[in-house]
Amino acid sequence: MFHGPFPMGTFLVNIIGCFLIGIFFGLLEKAHVMTPGENVLLITGFCGGFTTFSSFADDMWVLGSKVTEAHLQPILWPQS
C-alpha cells in the first residue's frame, strides 16, 4: 500500500508533521506558555526530527528490501 511508484509513507509522515507544526505554533503563540527558544525546540526539534527520521527510516526499509547480493558484491568482495 505504501510502497508504490509514489512514496506514500514519506508523504503522509510529512503531512502529519506539517499539521503538528501548525497546531503547536498556533497554540503556543496564542497561549504564551513557553519562551520563543522552547517553541523553536519543540517545533523544529521534535516535529523536524519526526518527519526527517521517519522519512529516512521508511526509505531505508524500502531500499533494504530491494538489495540483492549482486548489489553488495562490490562492497563485500572488492577486486584488488
Buried b (16+ CB within 10 A) or exposed e, 54-65: bbeebeeeeeee
Residues lower than pLDDT 50 in the chain: 1
Task: Yes or no: say if 40 and 21 are a contact pair by the CB < 8 Å rule.
Answer: no
pTM: 0.58
The domain limits of the chain are 8-65
- By C-alpha distance, which of 54, 41, 51 is closest to 17? 51
DSSP 45: I
What digits encode the pLDDT tens for the residues 56-72? Answer: 777 777 777 777 777 66
Q: Which residues pair with 73 in a beta bridge?
A: none
